[in-house]
Structure 1
Amino acid sequence: MYPNTYDIPIARLIARPMLSCTSITTVREAARRIFAERCSSIVVMNGTEAVGIWTEHDALSAGEDAHSLDRPIGDVMSSPVFTLGANTSLGEAAVSFKQSGVRHFVVVKDGLSIGVLSQTDIVLNQGAEFYLRLKSIESIRIHSPVTVPDHMALHDVVVRMRAEKIDAVVVEYADGEHGILTERDVVRLIGEGGLGGCVGHHASRPLQTLSATQSLYAAQRYMLQQHMRHVGVRDGEGRLTGLLCFADILQNIEYEYVNELQSALRERDEALGQARFNLRMADRVFESALEGIMVTDKYAKIERVNQAFTRLTGFTEEEVIGRDPSLLSSGRQTPEFYRALWHSLTTDGHWQGEIWNRRKSGELFVEYLTITSIRDNDGNISHYAGIFSDITQRRQAEERLGYLATHDVLTGLANRALFEERLERAIVHGKRRGGKVAVLYLDLDRFKLVNDTLGHNAGDEVLKVVASRLVTGLRASDTVARMGGDEFALVLEEFVDVRDVGQVAQGLLDAVGQAIDLGGREIFVTPSIGISIYPDDGAQAEQLMVLADQAMYGAKSRGRNVFQFFESKMTSSAMAQLETLGELHRALEQDEFCLFYQPQYDLSNGNIVGVEALLRWRHPRKGLVPPGVFIGLAEQSALIVPIGQWVLREACRQARCWLDAGFEFGRIAVNVSARQCFTDGFLTDLTTILSETALPPHRLQLELLESMAMNTREEIGILLRELAARGISLAIDDFGTGYSSLAYLKDLPVDTLKIDRSFLATSDSRNPDGAIIRAIVAMGHALGIDVVMEGVETEEQLAFLREVGCHQVQGFLLARPQPADRLIELSLLRGEVAMAQSGSRNMKCTGGDRSSRQKAS
C-alpha cells in the first residue's frame, strides 16, 4: 500500500458520464446500450433520482426467458440503489464493497447521481502495485472453472450461470481448444436479439491463459491490455486449473488493504490530535499576545503588565508599576458602577463587562475587561488579574451593522424589516386611540428603461433623488422605506380624513414626477401608488402591505402615474390567480396535461408536411382548458419550464410511435418559450429526450416567437445555430407581428416562417394584410425558407394562398387539432379527398372550437 492512495475521493475515479435510462426502457434496449458503451451497468432514473440499477449479472436472469427481453427494465432492476458520497475515500469504498457484497455503487454529489463505481475501478486505482508484484497467481485461492461442451444450448448455459452465481464459463470444443462466455457476452447477445443456438457459436476463443507462477501484477496488466476481465490459469504441466477475474484480485488483497488502511488512519488521527493540541497552544499564545494583561496585588497596586497593555494604553510597565488602575479611568463610570464591580469580585471572585477607559494620550476607548481574583493556598485573595481588549472598532462596527440591518444602504431610508416594525407599532397606536393608519406602496413606472439605457449608476442616482423627494413630502412622524429595487413603502398616521391621504399621494406623484437632472440630462420617472387603510381594509400589518401592493398594480393597470385605493375585487382577482397557479402545480404532478395535434398540408399534393403539437389541460372540474387561460401565468411563475419539458418529451414520444406505425407526418412541431430556451439545462434536456425517445433530430421542429428569434442577444444566435447543427428544424411562429430585421433573419439558421393568422382577416389581395402575406411569401422564396400560413378557415383564403404561391397551410378548414389516436384516420381521409378532387375544397371542419388554436407557449 502506497501512502495517500486510500485518501483519493472516489469522484476522481468517475471517468465518464453515467449510463442511464428510464424505467420503461426495455431489457433488450438496456442490454444493447450497456454493450455499446462497454460498461457493466445502467442506472434507472426517475427524473434526477436513481431508482434502480441493472448490471451484466442481472442479464443472466433476463436470459432465462426470451419473453422477458421486451419487459420494462423497471420490472427487473435491482432496487434500492446502493450509493456512496462523492467524497468517500478509495479505502472506505473498498471496505463498503467487501461488507455489502455488491459490485456497483452509484456515486452521489449534492443530491445528484454523477457516475457508477465498480469493483474493477477499485482494483485499478487502489495503488497496490508493489503488493501485487509480490504475490503470484497460485498464491491466492481461485475456483476451478465451470466447463460446458460447445454443443450445449446457449439458453441452458445462461440458466446454469445464474443458478451457480458465476460470471463466466469455459467452453470446451471437440478439438480440445477452450473458449469463454461471460456476462458481457450475454448482454451483447440480448441486445442483438436473443439467446438462441449453441454456446460454442457465441463464445470467445481461444481462451487467453497465464501461468500460475506469474504475479498478480502481471495478470492485472495483461487483462487491462487485452481489454478482458477473465483469464485462464494453467499449472506447470499446461493444464487449465482456474479462471482468474478482477474480483479475485480485489477479494484476495482486501485483508492487507484494510489493515494498511486502518494503520494509516490511526497514524493520521494521532498526527491530527497532536496538531490540534499545538493549535490550541498557539491560539492561547496568540490571544494572550493580543490582549492587555495587568496583575495587581490584593490592595489593587499594579505589579506587572504585558506588552499588549503598553500597546493598548500607551503606558509603559515602568510608568504604571505600583500605581492604582484608576490612572486609566475615563470618568464616565459612576461610583455605583465601581461598587458593583468590587462586590462581584469579593463575592463571586470575578467580574466581566465593558468599560470606558482613557489612554495616556487622553483618547477614550471601550475595552472588554475580565477581572479575576487569585487566591493563595489558604484561600485568601493575593492578587487580581485583569485581561482586556480594545473593542472600540468592534463597537463602531456593531453600531454600523445595526444601522444597516434596519436601513437601505443606497438611500438611507428604512428597509423592509424596520418598515414592518414601525407599521406594527403604528397599528398598535391606532388601535389604542381609535385612529386610522395608511399604507402606501409606490413603484416607479418603466424604471428598468433608465437602468438599461443609462446604466445602473444613473438608476441609483434616480432612486436617491426619489427617496429625498418622498422624505421631503411627508412629516417627520411618518415612515418612508425602500422595499427593494424601485419599490417604496410609506406609513401615514394621525390623519383626520382618508381624503387627506389622497392629497398626500397626489403631492407625492407631483414631486416624484418632476425632472431629475443627471449630468445635464433631464430624466423623468413617474410613480404608481397603491393605498390600503387600517382598519377599513385589514387589521394585520402583512395584510395591509399585500393589499397596498395589489392596489399599486391596479394603479399601473389604469395607465400609471396615478394613485389607487384598495378595492375588494382586487383580492378576488389575485386569489383566482393563486388558485390557478396551485392547480397548475397539481396538474403537472397528476398528469392532467395532454397534447392535440394539427397537421400542416402541402397544397400541391395534399400530403402532410408537418404536425404541430398543441397543449391542452384536462381539468378535473372545468374539462378541457385551452392554454390561453393558463400559459401566461405559467410564464410568470417559471412553471413554463417543466411544462415545456413535458410537452417536448410527449411530442417526441408520439412522433416516434407514428414512425414505428409507418405514418408519414413530416416533422413534429413544438412551441418553446424564451424562458425555457434560456435555462441552463435546455440543450441537455433536449438531447436526453431525443435519446430516450429515439426520435431522429430532423423529425423535430422547434417553433419560436418572432420577438424571441429576432432578439439581438448573442446567446439566442448561438443557441439557434447549435440546434441547427444538430439537425433540428427551426421555425419562426406568428411571423409578421413583431419587428424583424431582414439582415438578422438571413443570418439565422431558420428554415420555416409561419405567418400569423391575423393577416387572413380578409383574403382580398388589395387589402394591406394581403399585400403583407404576398411580400412574406416572396421573401421566404428568395431566402429559401418554407412559408406556412396559419389559421386557414375559408375556401376564399385557400384560393388566395394558392394565388400568391403559399403552398403550406394549416387551419380549421383542413383539419382541427385532434388527439393523436384520431389524427392518422383523419389525415388519411383528408389526403384522399384532396388528391381525388385536385385541392382541398372538400376539407371541411369537424368538431372543436376556436380556443383550441392556442399553443403551448
Structure 2
Amino acid sequence: MYTSSYHVPISNLITRPIVACAPDTSVRDVVRRILFESCSSIVVMDDVTAVGIWTEKDALFAGEDPRVLDLPISTAMSAPLLTLDAQTSLGEAAVRFKQSGVRHFGVVSDGACIGVITQTDVVVNQGAEFFLRLKSLASIHLNPPVVVPEHLTLHDAIAGMRRQKIDAIIVEYADGDLGILTERDVVWLIANDSLGGTVGEHASRPLQALAGTQSLYAAQRFMLQEHIRHLGVRDREGNLTGLLSFADILQNIEEEYVSELQSALIERDEALARARFSLRMADLVFDSALEGIMVTDRSGKIERVNQAFTRLTGYAEEEVIGRSPGLLNSGHQGPEFYKEMWRSLVTDGHWQGEIWNRRKSGELYLEYLTITSIHDVEGKISHYAGIFSDITQRRQNEERLRYLATHDVLTGLANRALFEERLERAIVHASQRKRQVAVMYLDLDRFKLINDTLGHNAGDEVLKVVAARLRENLRDSDTVARLGGDEFAFVVEEFSDVRDVGRLAKALLNSVGQPINLDGHDIFTTPSIGISVYPDDGTEAGQLMALADQAMYGAKSHGRNAFHFFESKMTSSAMAQLDLLGEVHRALEQNEYCLFYQPRYDLSSGRIVGVEALLRWRHPQRGLLSPDAFMSVVEQSALIVPLSRWVLREACRQARDWLDAGLEFGRISVNVSARLCNTEGFLTGLTTILSETALPADRLQLEILEGMTMNSRDEIRALLRELAARGVSVTIDDFGTGYSSLAYLKDLPVHTLKIDRLFLSGANPQSPDRAIIRAIVAMGRALELCVVMIGVETADQLAFLQEAGCHQGQGNLLATPASAEEMTELLPYPCDAIVAQADH
C-alpha cells in the first residue's frame, strides 16, 4: 500500500553527517559554511550539546541588518533546537512539522543529536504518489503570492519577507517577466557580500510555473527534478494565482496521514486490550526528554514531573507532588491571563504560549509552555500534561538585537533611525494638540583635536561622558540621540514657551562645557547648538532636522560654545542647499555625471605618462559644472560613496577601452575620498571593478589626500599596503599643505607625490614657494618617489620645473581637461610645449 512509507523511522532519512558550529562562530562564517555544505541549516553545538539551530529563514534578519553578520551565532540562532526521536515515524513527523510551523527538526538518539530532518525530506520520502495524483494544483488552497517591482531595493525586499513571515517573493519586471527571490538566495547573497542593489538584480528569472490543472504529484516531481522549493501556479489564462512550496505539499500529505493515523489508533487500542503498555519504556522516554514535563490530575494537582523539570525549575519531584503548579507563579501574569488559559483548555483541549515563571531560587525565567488535555476512555478529561522549555536567553538575545537596531552602541543613546521615528511621532502629537516641538542639533567644537592628540579611545570616553550629561539635563519624555561622530540631536516636547528651549540650551552649554577628567588630565570641549521649532520653521521632520543643522553652523560661525535659533534670513541659503542636495542625488540616477580627462606628461620627453579622471556634471539648465559647484554638498551627504564608486568604475572602463584600441596612457588616476576608503568592503569592491572592467591593477593609480595618509590609525596604513600588494599605485595628492611626517612617508607604500598648485601659482624667481618646490623634488628623489607638479599654466613655470628636476607635470599649459573622445586624439602625441621648451 502506498501509505506504508509513513511508518518508516526518520533515522532512515539521515544521509549526511550533522553540520554543526560552535556558539561563538560569527553569523558571517555560518552563512559561508551553509553555502559551502549546500545545506539549509546548521546546528549550534556547545561541546556535545545541541543548543540551537540557524536556518535560511534566519538569513532574512541578517540580510535586513548586515551588522548582525559579525555577531556570534549564539545571539542570532533559534533556540532551543526542536527535536524528534530517531524512531519517530515519517507520518508523525509530517504532523509535527505542520503543528510547529518550523522547517527543521533535530533527530535525537540516546540523548545525542545525530542529524537534521527537513520538510523536504518528508515530501521526498512520504510515498503518497497515489494520493498526490488525485489532487490538482487548482484544488488546493494557496495564499496569493507577494509580488514586488524589480526596482525595489534588496534591503526593503528582505525586510518585507521577514516582516510578512514568508520564505519567497515574486519579482515583476518591466517587460512582464516574473522572477523569484527565496531565503536560499539571501544566504548566497550574504555569503558573497552582495546585499546591495535592487531585488530585480538578484532574483532567479524566469519563475518556474505549472498550470493549475496539473497534479500535486507532477508538481512534486518537477520541483525535485529542477532542484527548486517553490513553483508558480497559473490559471487557464496564464495568470499567476499562487506559489506552491514544499510546505503546501506537506500539509496535504498530513491530511492523508491523519486519516491513516485514526485507523492505526484503533489497532493500537485493540492491542492495548491484549497487553499492557510497557511502563518501563514510557518512563525512559519521559525522563530523557530535554523539555520539562509536568502531569497533573483533572483538578490541577501535580502527579508527576521529569528530570528536565527539576533541572529547569530547581524543584525535586518530592517537593511538588500533590501541589498546584501555582508554586511556580512569578506574579507577572494577572488573573485574566490564567482565566483565558483555562478557557482555552476547556474549549480547545490545549493551550500554548509564553509565560514568566519563578525557579525555586527565586530567579525569573521565560518558558514556552504547551498544555494538553488527556481524556479517558469515556472521553472525560483525566489529566493535563504540560511541556515547557526555557527561552529566557533567546528572548534576551532578541531584545538585545532590537536594542542594537535602534540605539548607539557606544553611548546607549537613540540612533538616527529611532530619533527620526520619534520626531515624526512628536510632530503628529503636536499637530493634534496644537503644540510646538523643538529640534536641537549639538556638535562638539574641535572634537577632532581630541582624537588626533589623545587617540580615539579618549575621544570615545569623552563622547560617553557628554552623552551622560545630556541625559541628565533632559526629561524622560524628551529624546536624545547620537547621530554619528560628535553630533547629537534632541526632540523636545511639552514646553509652553520657546524661551524654555533657550534655557535648556544654556543648561546644556554649561553642563557639556565642564572639564572632563581622563587619566588625570582635564579635557575641555564646548558645544554648538542649533534649534528649529515646529511649526514655525517647518512641518516636516526632514526639513526641521536640516534647519536645526543649519542653525548649528550659524552658532559655530558666531564663535562656537553658543546656541542659535534658526532665523528666516537663513531660509534661502538652507533651501538652496537642500535643493542642490536633491539635484546631486537625481543627477546620479539620471546619468548626468561624466568624466573629463587631463594628461600628465614626463617633463623631459613630453610623452604622456598618466591620465587623471576629473568629475563633471552636465546640468540640464546650468550646463557643464566643475566639482567646485557641487562637491561640498556631495561630501556632506551619503552620496559621496556611491558617486566615488561610479567615478572609479567609469575611469577603469575608459582605460580598458584605450588599451583595447592600442593606445598607451600609462596609468589612469582617480581621486578617492576617505569615506569610500573607510567603507566596509572597499577592497572587495575595487577587486570587483577591476575584474568586471578587465583593467590590470598596475594600470590604476589612486590619489588620496595628504591628511588621510598621515592619519594615525593603523587601518589606513594597512589599506595602503594592501593596495600596493595588489599592484595598485598610490599617489599623495596636494602634498605640502598638510601635517606631513617624513617618518610616516618613508614607511608608506606610495609611488607618487603631487605638489599642491598653490606653491606654483603666482610664484616668481625670488618666491620662497619655489624653494619649497625644490625641497619637495629633492626629497622625492631621495625617497625614490615620482614627483608631479600640477597647475602648470605658463612657460616660465614649466622652465623652472624642468630646471628643478621635477619628474612630471600637469596643467592647462600642457593640456586642458578633455572629454574621452578628445583625449583619445591626444594620447598618441607628445606635449608640444615641453618639446618646444626642450628644443629651446
CA distance in 2, matches of 1:444, 1:531: 15
Q: 2:585 matched to which residue of 1?
A: 582
1:793 aligns with 2:797: no
SS in 2 for 1:739: coil
Deviations along 1:548-586, whole A, 9 cap, x unmatched? Answer: 345445545666433233453464244334334324423
1:649 aligns with 2:653: yes
Deviation at 1:515? 0.4
Deviation at 1:738? 2.8
Deviation at 1:514? 0.9
Q: 1:387 matched to which residue of 2?
A: 386
Question: Is the CA contact (8 Å cut-off) linking 2:408 and 2:482 kept in structure 1?
Answer: yes
SS in 1 for 2:508: helix
Deviation at 1:379? 3.6
SS in 2 for 1:764: coil
Question: Is the CA contact (8 Å cut-off) linking 1:594 and 1:618 kept in structure 2?
Answer: no
Q: 2:670 matched to which residue of 1?
A: 671
Q: How does 1:515-534 map to 2 (within 5 A)?
A: 515-534=515-534
For the aligned residues, what is the CA RMSD? 5.8
Deviation at 1:512? 0.5
Q: Could you say if the C-alpha distance between residues 304 and 418 of structure 1 is closer, same or farther in structure 2, counting changes exceeding 3 Å?
A: same
1:772 aligns with 2:762: no
Q: Could you say if the C-alpha distance between residues 720 and 286 of structure 1 is closer, same or farther in structure 2, counting changes exceeding 3 Å?
A: same
SS in 2 for 1:438: strand
- Of residues 517-526 and 777-786 in structure 1, the stretch that sits farther from structure 2 once superposed is 777-786
Question: Is the CA contact (8 Å cut-off) linking 2:597 and 2:611 kept in structure 1?
Answer: no
CA distance in 2, matches of 1:682, 1:396: 37
Question: Is the CA contact (8 Å cut-off) linking 2:789 and 2:810 kept in structure 1?
Answer: yes
Deviation at 1:322? 6.2
Q: Could you say if the C-alpha distance between residues 538 and 526 of structure 1 is closer, same or farther in structure 2, counting changes exceeding 3 Å?
A: same
Question: Is the CA contact (8 Å cut-off) linking 2:609 and 2:667 kept in structure 1?
Answer: no
SS in 2 for 1:533: strand
Q: 2:148 matched to which residue of 1?
A: none
Q: Which residue identity lines up with residue 658 of structure 2 in the other structure?
A: Q
Question: Is the CA contact (8 Å cut-off) linking 2:595 and 2:647 kept in structure 1?
Answer: no
Deviation at 1:504? 1.6
Deviations along 1:16-74, whole A, 9 cap, x unmatched? Answer: xxxxxxxxxxxxxxxxxxxxxxxxxxxxxxxxxxxxxxxxxxxxxxxxxxxxxxxxxxx
CA distance in 2, matches of 1:748, 1:320: 72
Q: Could you say if the C-alpha distance between residues 395 and 560 of structure 1 is closer, same or farther in structure 2, counting changes exceeding 3 Å?
A: same
CA distance in 1, matches of 2:459, 2:672: 30
Q: Which residue identity lines up with residue 762 of structure 2 in the other structure?
A: T
Q: Which residue identity lines up with residue 387 of structure 1 in the other structure?
A: G
Q: 1:597 matched to which residue of 2?
A: 598
Deviation at 1:628? 3.4
CA distance in 2, matches of 1:514, 1:727: 50
CA distance in 2, matches of 1:696, 1:328: 67
Question: Is the CA contact (8 Å cut-off) linking 2:729 and 2:750 kept in structure 1?
Answer: yes
Q: Which residue identity lines up with residue 628 of structure 1 in the other structure?
A: D
Q: 2:462 matched to which residue of 1?
A: 462
CA distance in 1, matches of 2:626, 2:288: 70
Question: Is the CA contact (8 Å cut-off) linking 2:705 and 2:734 kept in structure 1?
Answer: yes
Deviations along 1:795-826, whole A, 9 cap, x unmatched? Answer: 44345446545585443334433446656877
CA distance in 1, matches of 2:450, 2:520: 15
Deviation at 1:680? 0.9
SS in 1 for 2:772: helix
Q: Could you say if the C-alpha distance between residues 421 and 611 of structure 1 is closer, same or farther in structure 2, counting changes exceeding 3 Å?
A: closer
Deviation at 1:511? 1.1
Q: How does 1:31-110 map to 2 (within 5 A)?
A: 110=192
CA distance in 2, matches of 1:307, 1:793: 89
Deviation at 1:486? 4.3
CA distance in 2, matches of 1:540, 1:667: 52
SS in 2 for 1:680: helix
Q: Could you say if the C-alpha distance between residues 450 and 353 of structure 1 is closer, same or farther in structure 2, counting changes exceeding 3 Å?
A: same
CA distance in 2, matches of 1:314, 1:336: 27
Question: Is the CA contact (8 Å cut-off) linking 2:652 and 2:700 kept in structure 1?
Answer: no
Question: Is the CA contact (8 Å cut-off) linking 2:445 and 2:526 kept in structure 1?
Answer: yes
Q: Which residue identity lines up with residue 654 of structure 1 in the other structure?
A: W
Q: Which residue identity lines up with residue 643 of structure 1 in the other structure?
A: V
CA distance in 2, matches of 1:754, 1:471: 48
Q: Which residue identity lines up with residue 295 of structure 2 in the other structure?
A: M
Q: How does 1:810-825 map to 2 (within 5 A)?
A: 810-819=810-819
Deviations along 1:563-621, whole A, 9 cap, x unmatched? Answer: 2334534642443343343244236x57x52433345363x666666655544444454
Q: 1:499 matched to which residue of 2?
A: 499
CA distance in 2, matches of 1:688, 1:573: 40
- For structure 2, the residue ranges without an aligned partner over 5 or more in a row are 1-14, 20-32, 39-181, 195-224, 226-253, 255-260, 262-281
SS in 2 for 1:514: coil
Question: Is the CA contact (8 Å cut-off) linking 1:341 and 1:351 kept in structure 2?
Answer: yes
Of the three residues 678, 683, 688, the one matched with 1:680 is: 683
Q: Which residue identity lines up with residue 597 of structure 2 in the other structure?
A: F
Q: Which residue identity lines up with residue 644 of structure 1 in the other structure?
A: L
Q: 1:295 matched to which residue of 2?
A: 296
CA distance in 1, matches of 2:396, 2:645: 44
Deviation at 1:740? 3.3
Deviation at 1:500? 2.8
Deviation at 1:520? 1.9
Q: Could you say if the C-alpha distance between residues 720 and 110 of structure 1 is closer, same or farther in structure 2, counting changes exceeding 3 Å?
A: closer
TM-score, scaled to structure 2: 0.54
Deviation at 1:321? 5.8
Q: 1:436 matched to which residue of 2?
A: 436
Question: Is the CA contact (8 Å cut-off) linking 1:648 and 1:670 kept in structure 2?
Answer: no
User: Which of the pair has more CA radius of gyration?
Assistant: 1
CA distance in 2, matches of 1:398, 1:687: 40
Q: Which residue identity lines up with residue 670 of structure 1 in the other structure?
A: S
Question: Is the CA contact (8 Å cut-off) linking 1:634 and 1:640 kept in structure 2?
Answer: no
- For structure 1, the residue ranges without an aligned partner over 5 or more in a row are 14-84, 89-106, 113-257, 259-272, 841-857
SS in 2 for 1:642: helix
Deviation at 1:754? 3.8
Q: Could you say if the C-alpha distance between residues 584 and 644 of structure 1 is closer, same or farther in structure 2, counting changes exceeding 3 Å?
A: farther
Question: Is the CA contact (8 Å cut-off) linking 2:368 and 2:391 kept in structure 1?
Answer: no
Q: Could you say if the C-alpha distance between residues 495 and 607 of structure 1 is closer, same or farther in structure 2, counting changes exceeding 3 Å?
A: closer
CA distance in 1, matches of 2:416, 2:561: 23
CA distance in 2, matches of 1:700, 1:335: 72
SS in 1 for 2:510: helix
Q: How does 1:445-456 map to 2 (within 5 A)?
A: 445-447=445-447, 450=450, 454=454
Percent identity between the two aligned chains: 54
Q: Could you say if the C-alpha distance between residues 712 and 820 of structure 1 is closer, same or farther in structure 2, counting changes exceeding 3 Å?
A: same
